[in-house]
Amino acid sequence: MEYIHFLDSDDWLELNCIEECVRGALESRSEIVWHDFKIFNEISRQITYDTFLKELNLEDNKLLSGLQIFQQLKQPSFSWTWPGLIETRKVENMRFELGIESEDAIFGMQLFALSHKIAILRKELMYYRIRSNSISQHTLVDKTSKGITFPPHQQDLVQAFGSNIYNIRHYQFAYSCAIICLKMDEFLKKEKLHDDLRKILKTMIEVRAIYAFGGCGFEKDPRNVREICSKLLNYTSRIRWSSKLAYHYPRVFRILKKIKALIRG
């Protein structure tokens, strides 16, 4: 059996991480070993413990299916890539979506949906780093792009929104959520899944669609978020009325937005 462990370039593993994971995988004959991790805040220089596994109250060394784990989630949202070991054959036909944020959302939802033997290892074997100017947006406090360098795949957004980093990042997030919803919709149509699992994944798509349709409220749409959202109309039960207005009646939305700005100004 062959396994793979992903890791972001600015994070790091404990020296015994792979050894512990391989031992756990071989003993349990699992497809995935999911371990805990610590969080290192580069700005405050503090280390804290992640509480996600603890909050799920999953038993150590017990094999679970993706459905069983999804049923324990406190919120209908799931992302997973690097806190664990994965049997290589599970990801042979999987690829990360380029040019979006939260690419681990598509990966995690699909991987766990297709997995039936997930082992829980309650040990902190990795450090997740929070740093300034991260694509995870932990330190978004300024609306200007002064001092910020954007990667090549975001240069179209820089051209569209100029120096407004708030619009660049929030539009990028809306676009990313739209792509996530679209890919998960294609996944549901392709795979034969348990009805309970299908319902959970549909709810997860509906939650991401809130932010996807939020992209319809921007004055510019360089990546055609509106067109992508036209394929997601089956997932609009949770989106805000303002996003519905922006999608269905963009001119009315822009007029009301200008009136609101005048009142506030």
Name the nearest CA neighbour of 130 among 5, 44, 36, 15. 44
Long-range Cβ contacts of 182-188 (<8 Å, 24+ apart):
182/228, 182/231, 182/232, 183/97, 183/106, 184/106, 184/109, 184/110, 184/208, 185/231, 185/232, 185/234, 185/235, 187/109, 187/110, 187/113
Dump pLDDT digits (tens) for 134-173. 666 544 444 455 567 778 888 999 999 988 888 998 999 9
Could you give the angle at the alpha carbon of 207 between the alpha carbons of 170 and 184, nearest 5°?
A: 95
Does the pLDDT value for residue 73 go beyond 90? Answer: yes
Dump pLDDT digits (tens) for 173-219. 999 999 999 999 999 999 999 999 999 999 999 999 999 999 999 99
AA letter at 188: L
Does the pLDDT value for residue 55 go beyond 90? Answer: no
Give me the pLDDT at residue 138, please. 47
CB atoms within 10 A of CB 224: 12
The region that residue 104 occupies, defined by phi over 0 for left and psi between -120 and 50 for alpha, beta otherwise, is alpha
Residue 134, classified by CB atoms within 10 Å of its CB into exposed (0-12), middle (13-18) or buried (19+), is middle
Q: Which is higher by pLDDT, 263 or 221?
A: 221
